[in-house]
Amino acid sequence: MQGILTEIKRSLDTIVIEDIYKYPAYTNMISIGDGKYKLEIEFLNPDKAAIEEIANLYHLSKTLKITSENIQKEHLDIDHIFVTRHMVDIIPRVKWDCISK
């Protein structure tokens, strides 16, 4: 059953990074072939401490362990991501573009 789903669009989710950091988020997940996925994560209503945590995770420059309600529900073969883009706007809203590993 793994890998059948090819796309999840702007779905409310709960993201857990490195088994420690838990954030509500909207996620987009798109299959790009070879069992890999492009993920877009929009962290919801982050406070200042969460914004700093998320930025620190991005700056680790390594693959990050990840799980989420949607990944588990859809049985997707995603357990690590590499963040390719980190964006923060004035709302404040934090977004990541990622590739699964």
User: Residue 1: what pLDDT?
Assistant: 42
Question: What are 4-51's pLDDT values in tens digits?
Answer: 557 899 999 999 999 999 999 999 999 998 889 999 999 999 999 999
User: Residue 11: what pLDDT?
Assistant: 95
User: Residue 50: what pLDDT?
Assistant: 95
Task: Give this prediction's pTM.
Answer: 0.90
Q: b/e per residue, 43-71, with b = 16+ CB within 10 A?
A: bbebeeebeebbeebbeeeeebebbbebb
Question: What are 56-66's pLDDT values in tens digits?
Answer: 999 998 999 99
Rounded-to-integer distance, Cα 2 and Cα 20, Å? 25
DSSP string across 36-59? EEEEEEEE-S--HHHHHHHHHHHT
User: Residue 44: what pLDDT?
Assistant: 94
**CA atoms 75, 78, 21, 86: torsion sign:** negative
The pLDDT confidence band at residue 101, using thresholds 50, 70 and 90, is confident
The residue with greater pLDDT, 100 or 2, is 100
